[in-house]
Structure 1
Amino acid sequence: MKRSGPLFTLFAGLALGLVMLSLNATTGEAGAPYGGAPAASPSSARPTATPSTKPVPSNPAGGKTAYAGRTDDDTAAVSVSVRGDRAIAYYCDGRTAESWLKGTVADDGSMRLSGSKGAKLDGTLRDDRIRGTVEVGARDSAFTARKAVKPSGLYRATTEVRGATIDGGWIVLPDGRQVGIVQRGDVPGPAPRIDPETGAVTVDGERLTARPVLP
């Protein structure tokens, strides 16, 4: 019995060592590098979204904006009404020369409009203004038209009075000045003032309403 004592102690020590090894193996974190933090989970390594760099058009589709101004030589007024990618413009000297023009606006803000008798307007919309040239008859003029806040902008009224067609166009400038022509049949002449708040105007005794022009 006395000789079995050391053997028993030896076997007990071996058993305790095996138990400790087993505990260390089962409590270690799988995938963790030695002395470092656990590896990142797949969900934490997802790439972040990249902001869109798509350019914003000068006049987004569906937007409605009017621009009004004068030619550089101050002899006439120009107004352009833009809705989405379409535009309509009116050139008027307030006496006898006028032209209605229409066309489209490109994504970069450039526009090329055309009217009767070879009239044309080339311009570029940037921020709150249109800068370009307009050619009506033999006159070619540079112009700047700035964004118009109501009641500034472009107006038109058309009716028939005593068998004659009346067609009037008006540009109300940001400073309140008005430039317009009324065509009585084929005869142009200076237009009477409109009420900029209501568009009301009397032409040859006939009460009319000039309304904002949209493409």
Structure 2
Amino acid sequence: MKRSGPLYTLYAGLALAVIMLSLNATTGEKGSSYAGAPAATTSPSLSPSLSPSASKERPSPGPSRTVRHGKTSYAGRTDDDVAAVSVSVRGQKAIAYYCDGRTKESWLKGDVEDDGSMKLTGKDGATLAGTLADDRIRGTVRVHDGPQDFTAKKAVKGSGLYRATAEVRGAKIDGGWIVLPDGRQVGIVRKDGAPSAAPSVDPETGAVTVDGEQLTARPVVP
């Protein structure tokens, strides 16, 4: 009976050891399961707007803009008041007429740049260089002689550039007129190439009488 006490103590110790081993095993399994599970990772999706390649891209330049000038005529005189100059513009094209109202004239044509500048050329080396800005053309014209500066203002109703070509009694007629904003007219009519001062033209109808024949002068456009 005296030996039962130590045995009970031994049995109790063994039982306690088994319980502790069981707890450790259970805890170890749970811990390994938690620690060993791969952490959930999410691969960040890059928005197209934030992608490295997109951030380095630069917008490609659009097509160059072309300025289209409306259909308009300009008329004025040279600074020395010797001759008149008229320029008719439509889009990127221009036709000009230089005339002193007696014997000297020249028709010129060329392109109008986006900035309003123009370089027109005609027969026998005639040139006109000007710039369209603020409803007027300011430039220099050269016809036969030295250069002449001029200013041509935007034409008002009835003013501008007119031309008539026809055959009258077997003769070839070619006439050009510049009607200035103040109503004055400057023109030359060539009959088989021979120049003379042009008779007045009606700006409203374009009617003009040459050698007894009524002709129609029409506005000049490029």
The alignment partner of 1:196 has SS state of coil
Deviation string 1:44-69 (CA, Å, 9 cap, x unpaired) is xxxxxxxxxxx997xx5261000000
TM-score normalised over the length of structure 1: 0.72
The alignment partner of 1:175 has SS state of coil
How far apart are residue 209 of structure 1 and its match? 0.6
Q: Distance in 2 between matches of 1:106 and 1:206?
A: 41
In the other structure, the counterpart of 2:150 is 143
Structure 1 runs of 4+ with >3 Å offset: none
Q: Distance in 2 between matches of 1:121 and 1:73?
A: 16
- Tell me which structure has the larger Cα radius of gyration: 2
Deviation string 1:157-186 (CA, Å, 9 cap, x unpaired) is 000112211000000000000000001111
Superposed counterparts of 1:82-97, under 5 Å: 82-97=89-104
1:101 has 2:108 as partner: yes
The alignment partner of 2:153 has SS state of strand
In the other structure, the counterpart of 1:200 is 207
How far apart are residue 138 of structure 1 and its match? 1.4
In the other structure, the counterpart of 2:179 is 172
The alignment partner of 1:63 has SS state of strand
Deviation string 1:12-69 (CA, Å, 9 cap, x unpaired) is xxxxxxxxxxxxxxxxxxxxxxxxxxxxxxxxxxxxxxxxxxx997xx5261000000
Specify whether residues 66 and 118 from structure 1 end up closer, same or farther in structure 2 by C-alpha distance, changes over 3 A only: same
Q: Distance in 1 between matches of 2:168 and 2:87?
A: 28
1:211 has 2:208 as partner: no
- Which amino acid in structure 1 is aligned with residue 75 of structure 2? A
1:133 has 2:179 as partner: no
Q: Distance in 2 between matches of 1:135 and 1:163?
A: 33
In the other structure, the counterpart of 2:75 is 68
How far apart are residue 150 of structure 1 and its match? 1.6
Q: Distance in 2 between matches of 1:167 and 1:74?
A: 24
Q: Distance in 1 between matches of 2:117 and 2:181?
A: 23
In the other structure, the counterpart of 1:51 is none
Q: Distance in 2 between matches of 1:170 and 1:151?
A: 12
- Structure 2: give runs of 5+ residues left out of the alignment: 1-63
1:111 has 2:133 as partner: no
Q: Distance in 1 between matches of 2:96 and 2:65?
A: 24
Q: Please tell me whether the aligned partners of residues 69 and 89 of structure 2 are also in contact (alpha carbons under 8 angstroms).
A: no
Over the matched positions of the two proteins, sequence identity in percent amounts to 74
Q: Distance in 2 between matches of 1:128 and 1:92?
A: 22
Q: Distance in 2 between matches of 1:69 and 1:88?
A: 14
The alignment partner of 2:82 has SS state of coil
Q: Please tell me whether the aligned partners of residues 73 and 87 of structure 2 are also in contact (alpha carbons under 8 angstroms).
A: yes
Corresponding residue to 1:158 among 158, 165, 189: 165
The alignment partner of 2:158 has SS state of coil
- Which amino acid in structure 2 is aligned with residue 171 of structure 1? I
The alignment partner of 1:131 has SS state of strand
More helix by share: 2
In the other structure, the counterpart of 1:28 is none
TM-score normalised over the length of structure 2: 0.70
In the other structure, the counterpart of 1:188 is 195
